[in-house]
Structure 1
Amino acid sequence: MPPSALRDRKRERTRRALLQAAVELFEGRGYEETTVADIAAAADVGTRTFFNYFASKEELLFPAQDERVRAAVAAIASRRPGERPVEVLLRALRAAGDNPGEHLVDDLNARIAALRAQVSRTVPAVSGRAAHAQLVAQREIARQLHTAFPAELDEVGAAALVGAVVGAVSGALTVLFQSPVAGVDGERLHRQIHETTSRVLQPWLASSTKMQVGPMH
């Protein structure tokens, strides 16, 4: 194996170790009670090494945001002939949800998602980061959707459609994550996330063949 590939694997192991340590500490001790030094020590690395991977403690709760957006954009770009904007959007959001990043298996990703939702309710820094991340993602997805369907969706229409669907999913997941996740099986939690998201999106999907989304002027 080339030296560069070995370095990449080592970096990925360290990154995952930091995420795993953070999740376990957040669940057991609490987010605000856990320090960067605690996480680094639990992962058996130094604090300086931590900052080589994450700029801050709250960034640990958003480890694959860019990858999710890229997955959604790729799904829009690969739209099929005859697909309506709503159908493409739903497929893009499912692609984003099913692609948390190669470094995150379903168990860990589900626990991070639950922690992110719970901590956002009480920690302003995380709440602000979550709101900003969602806004940036929605803007990019809406921009790509408008580009894919310029005759059917103008910029306002695309933004409205994305905001409505993403808002519905976010609201449902907020309720799902009201209870603490400590001790909850990550695979079971991932299934709950998938089932809840599918249930929320089903009415949109069922009506997508009937919807005629015209340009908004």
Structure 2
Amino acid sequence: MPDDPGRRERKKQATRQALVAAAVRLFADRDYDEVSVADIAEAADVSKRTFFLHFPTKEDVLLADGAGRAALAVRAVEERAPGAPLSETLAAAADRMITSAEADLPTGLAALRARLVVTSPAVQARVLHTTFAAQTRITAAVRDAYDLDDVTAAALVGALMGAISAATITSLERGDTPEETLAAMRTATSVALRCAVTPGS
């Protein structure tokens, strides 16, 4: 009897979650550079081969849903209501990303990522690469949807994502609760859109 596709997907997600949870525990207990892919795989009770089926590098465990969040933002732009103002569309895109990020906050993954991005060059480089790739995808969607020039679209998306990222790191560094961090992300969205998008646009 063929394996149920839904069951396979649930098993895949469960394995990813186990790898992320194992990595968070190990990175919290030991120096980041001392933790290997083999250590994470062993802690999650899977093989190294299974690890690499889910994550290209050790750093990617910290960015488990980065690409997915960018896709959510792009979808928000593509699914906008006819005639929706730019500010409304950007707010919807930000809301989808923030809602998706909510699951990371209680696990400690977001706080760990914020700490390592300033202490580990490898993590910092991977985060910057992932963030740039996400911004590029969202920028292209916004540019095409609103017939903007490249610079304007990039500036709007960069201002929004930069504000959310900076507010998130600040909130995590001062030890805010997950609820307070989510509130900080939403405040950053409002501030960025108020400053970057003119009324009525």
1:76-97 deviation per Cα after TM superposition (whole angstroms, max 9, x unaligned): 1121244321221121011122
1:205 deviation in Å?
5.0
**Does the 8 A contact of 1:84 with 1:209 survive in 2?**
no
Tell me the equivalent position of 1:66. Answer: 67
Match for 1:195: what amino acid? A
- 1:114, 1:2 → 2: CA distance? 41
1:8-39 deviation per Cα after TM superposition (whole angstroms, max 9, x unaligned): 33222222111111111112223223222221
Q: Where does 1:45-56 land on structure 2 (aligned, <5 Å)?
A: 45-56=46-57
1:84-136 deviation per Cα after TM superposition (whole angstroms, max 9, x unaligned): 212211210111221259xx66633xx22221221111111111111111111
Tell me, which stretches of 5 or more residues in structure 2 are unaligned?
Answer: none
- 2:194, 2:9 → 1: CA distance? 43
Bigger share in helix: 2
Tell me, which stretches of 5 or more residues in structure 1 are unaligned?
Answer: none
- 2:61, 2:89 → 1: CA distance? 30
RMSD, aligned CA = 2.6
% identical equivalent positions: 37
**Does the 8 A contact of 2:55 with 2:61 survive in 1?**
yes
- 1:115 and 2:112 correspond: yes
TM-score (norm: length of structure 2)? 0.86
- Count, aligned residues: 200
**Does the 8 A contact of 1:138 with 1:163 survive in 2?**
yes
**Does the 8 A contact of 1:69 with 1:141 survive in 2?**
yes
Give the SS at the match of 1:44: coil
- 1:208, 1:82 → 2: CA distance? 19
1:195 deviation in Å?
0.6
TM-score (norm: length of structure 1)? 0.80
Match for 2:143: what amino acid? H
* Residue of 143, 148, 158 corresponding to 1:146: 143
- 2:139, 2:55 → 1: CA distance? 28
Tell me the equivalent position of 2:165. Answer: 170
Match for 1:3: what amino acid? D
- 2:141, 2:197 → 1: CA distance? 21
- 1:126 and 2:123 correspond: yes
**Does the 8 A contact of 2:104 with 2:110 survive in 1?**
no
Tell me the equivalent position of 2:42. Answer: 41
1:2 deviation in Å?
4.8
